[in-house]
Structure 1
Amino acid sequence: MKQGYLQIYTGNGKGKTTAAMGLALRAAGAGLQVYIGQFVKDMKYSEVRLMEQVLPQITIELLGKGCFIDRPPEEGDRQAAQEGLDHVAQLMKSGQYDVMILDEISIAIVCGLIPEENVLALIERRPQEMELVLTGRYMPSSLMEKADLITEMQEVRHYYTEQGVLARDGIER
């Protein structure tokens, strides 16, 4: 790619990670090298397991200690997230990836795992030809101001809130 852009998928609706994974598949299909760093996921979801099996041009790593919905973030969570961001910065400098996806990065920022200014610095240092995708709810306005594309997923109705249906294999995980 001659020119990469900064894309953001945010909002309170379902589909941010799914959209980013779709972009990863499309990029891999075009022969691009893709990196996906997941900051707040604690398990390999179905799409990750499949991509690892059949798409060697997509690298996926869990960069945090996982989900902390049922507990406050701890120092270990902050350390893991910062180490993950440092790792991403090194990979970015290596030039081996055409597309980088930082999944749930906004949650890592909002929950105090990594400083917003560190992510802004990463955006500023990315190679011009690299496509960078950030996902997550509550995306800070400072990051949104840097974006070339913003898609906001808006929840209109969800069977979780309406019927209490939990995440299902193959659909939400």
Structure 2
Amino acid sequence: MKGKIHVYTGNGKGKTTAAIGLTIRAVGAGFKVFFGQFVKGEEYSEIKALKKLDNVVVKQYGRDCFIRNEPAEEDIMVARQGLAEMSDILQSGDYQLVVMDEANIAVYYKLFSLEELIEVLQNRADGVEVVITGRMAEEGLIKIADLVTSMEEVKHYYQQGIQARIGIEK
């Protein structure tokens, strides 16, 4: 049976957190999980925690900063290498769950195309469940997904000038 495609998108907080929650559930069921994170390269608290879990492999395909304006050539190169590696991982069938964290942002910044992402997803091995996170999911991805959740921001303390805090947002 073909695994499902989940998309967690929207402007609200919680997309990566939801993917981590599913990762923990999958590990609890004895699954092997590959958690690939595009655009980000810093070792956030959630990355440190995931690396401590058995059956989880974590790899980042970003530099030590989040893209703010136009991506540098290095941003594009690292993301494209990541997509190629994740394509091989998805085709291998070695992992029952694969998370492509911030892949929507990678598409938004044109680090790789929506068509390339969809091709990678369509060529995955049977039984591989995939989660794609990030704001601004493209309509083409939403169309092929089996589950789409949009996180809606109703109120956020960032609007009061509160920065990301260790252990809560980073």
Describe how 1:10-89 pairs up with structure 2 within 5 A: 10-53=9-52, 55-65=53-63, 66-69=65-68, 71-89=69-87
Gap regions ≥5 residues in structure 1: none
1:123 aligns with 2:118: no
Pairwise CA distance, 1:83:
0.5
Q: Deviations over 1:101-160 (max 9, x none)?
A: 000001100111111110010111012211000000000000000011000000000000
Name the TM-score, length of structure 2 as normaliser.
Answer: 0.96
For the aligned residue pairs, the C-alpha RMSD in angstroms reads 1.1
Q: Show the counterpart of 2:93.
A: 95
Name the TM-score, length of structure 1 as normaliser.
Answer: 0.94
- Take 1:56 and 1:40, find their aligned partners in 2: how far apart are those partners? 24
- Take 2:92 and 2:148, find their aligned partners in 1: how far apart are those partners? 27
Pairwise CA distance, 1:3:
4.2
Q: Show the counterpart of 2:140.
A: 142
- Take 1:37 and 1:58, find their aligned partners in 2: how far apart are those partners? 10
Pairwise CA distance, 1:169:
0.6
The share of aligned pairs that are identical, in percent, is: 41
- Take 1:47 and 1:75, find their aligned partners in 2: how far apart are those partners? 27
Task: State the 4+ residue runs in structure 1 displaced beyond 2 angstroms.
Answer: none
Amino acid in structure 1 at the alignment position of 2:100? L
Q: Show the counterpart of 1:169.
A: 166
Gap regions ≥5 residues in structure 2: none
Pairwise CA distance, 1:92:
1.5
